[in-house]
Structure 1
């Protein structure tokens, strides 16, 4: 089976996120290749080649992505959430989509729309800010901790502040079942800046042992199902007295760098089982709780040294 992986930050050389992009891309290209796939990926001109797969020169991300879709059996796009609806729609016109359905990606990209779905399904999530006390300010359309502030006077979208540990649950979802993989600690840097405190993601500890792990798993899976997600989904949660869903990422996230290393199964294999069950078997054939064989902790500042081993 021929598979195309297109990671936006790497293919476009978007410097703020390029190291995270390369790490996610190389993890998935390696995983898919180990499963017997013929893998290609979009690469910027004159870029070094990964140890796995075949790089296809890219000068215009969307144009080149659509062009390559004509020659593969399945594809996975990793890009800013507000681009995924269009990209995943393209994929489904030509081949099997290894990511979320376009409509699901569109809802997840809109924090207001996501809030409505979560509330309708009785999934704990912060309320819109009512004007009293501290709040979390973040763009309605945005990825992860991009432009997130804790403030008492938001100029944009404000949400109730809930106390606890910033964590995430990696999930893989098929049409018939869903498996939580790991509960991860998000390493967060908080810096005073202008109107409040900037919240910046800097890394992960995968997995992180916490007494509310099973509760976090249950709530994350419930959120994925409510939003119609498929493939790999990163559910951001705050774990305190309760477990709150604060964001749902309808695509692979940085945590897969660790998840694919510490689990007894590779993330790429699980995605294939979820989206192309006829290829190597369905997700339902996998235990609901996979064995974890270690812990991996990293920051984005350490990625350059990690990436050095990923190029040929």
Structure 2
């Protein structure tokens, strides 16, 4: 039987394309990077420079190739296409691309959410109303610091929340528009320092925290009420209670560690849910998996071919790629029966990669 052809579109799509390819689909991609390993999993990969160029690139692939379904990743949630969308419709997604609307949604559901911070009340967590990855989020402690943030991002209206302390975490759910099943919990690794201290830098699946069960229950309730279909992620801070932070109505950056931990295809679960079938029960977490993104500590050019290190690495840049200080270089992985074993395995691979890159 001829495999279904799927077009995966977004700023970075390797994780989704890899999952789709492993599930037996014929994959095409529109992606900003088109790294080495993305080409391993796709029949064709087309690049774009700016997100404004993305819809035209998607339209061109749909004209030139017979595509059975479109699947979107971050940056492409709101685009339309002439082929069937396998995921949440743009009209439904729109609300969850605006963090102020997410705030109101959580408040209406009466789930724990950090309250909005009134003007002049500090510390406050500032976030752009639109955008993903958390790299522009910042805790400000004065009017002057808030003005500096606003001057740095003049085109991004801010949402200001009161600061809640705790572990950054998330729940990966599969939803059919009215029901949802949690398939994994994730500890989120943040960059932790510098201007992008709150930016996403990796994940550990599953999360080890006494509030995990409560977080799962809240996440399933949120995902079911959202009306989204397929893969839906809910971000939390696990502090005095599970504080709901955001909804991601698409595949999340934790996909790799989720699949490694549960031993199942998240892409196939996504497709099945979009066609009305949810998992009969929550998957068993079979092992602990960790991913860490390495960021350039200086302006650099990649001199080594890192492809032979796969599958311990992914998002593999081509030799000669120039990368600016602070930008992502490559993803590194580890796994084991326990969190400590997984982190130890990650440490070995991390050291090997850094040595080859001269970092």
TM-score (norm 2): 0.70
**Alpha-carbon separation, structure 1, partners of 2:241 and 2:35:** 46
Q: Which residue of 2 aligns with 1:6?
A: 9
Q: CA offsets per residue over residues 191-235 of structure 1, 9 Å max, x none? A: 365xxx942322111111222112111111222223222211221
Structure 1 residues 31, 84: CA separation in 2 closer, same or farther (over 3 Å shift)? Answer: closer
Structure 1 residues 160, 97: CA separation in 2 closer, same or farther (over 3 Å shift)? Answer: same
Q: Are 1:73 and 2:75 matched, yes or no?
A: no
Greater CA deviation, 263-272 or 29-38? 29-38
Aligned residues of 1:75 and 1:95 also touching (Cα < 8 A): yes
**Alpha-carbon separation, structure 1, partners of 2:286 and 2:317:** 22
Q: Which residue of 2 aligns with 1:53?
A: 42
List structure 1 segments (4+ residues) > 4 angstroms apart after TM superposition. 43-49, 302-305, 308-311
Q: CA offsets per residue over residues 252-290 of structure 1, 9 Å max, x none? A: 12100111111131111111111135xxxx22xx23210
Q: Which residue of 2 aligns with 1:165?
A: 167
Q: Are 1:41 and 2:21 matched, yes or no?
A: no
**Alpha-carbon separation, structure 1, partners of 2:232 and 2:18:** 19
Structure 1 residues 190, 175: CA separation in 2 closer, same or farther (over 3 Å shift)? Answer: closer
Q: Which residue of 2 aligns with 1:18?
A: none
Aligned residues of 1:107 and 1:227 also touching (Cα < 8 A): no
Q: CA offsets per residue over residues 141-196 of structure 1, 9 Å max, x none? A: 12131211112233443111111111111111113531111111111233365xxx
Structure 1 residues 117, 309: CA separation in 2 closer, same or farther (over 3 Å shift)? Answer: closer
Greater RCO (CA < 8 Å, at least 6 residues apart): 1
Coordinate RMSD, CA, aligned: 2.7
Q: Are 1:296 and 2:298 matched, yes or no?
A: no
**Alpha-carbon separation, structure 1, partners of 2:130 and 2:5:** 32
Q: Which residue of 1 aligns with 2:77?
A: 84
- Structure 1: 5+ residue runs without aligned partners? 9-20
Greater CA deviation, 205-214 or 301-310? 301-310
Aligned counterpart for 2:314 among listed residues 295, 307, 310: 307
1:38-187 alignment to 2 at 5 Å?
A: 38-42=26-30, 48=36, 50-59=39-48, 60-70=53-63, 71-80=66-75, 83-85=76-78, 87=79, 90-91=80-81, 94-130=82-118, 131-153=120-142, 154-155=146-147, 156-175=158-177, 177-187=179-189
TM-score (norm 1): 0.80
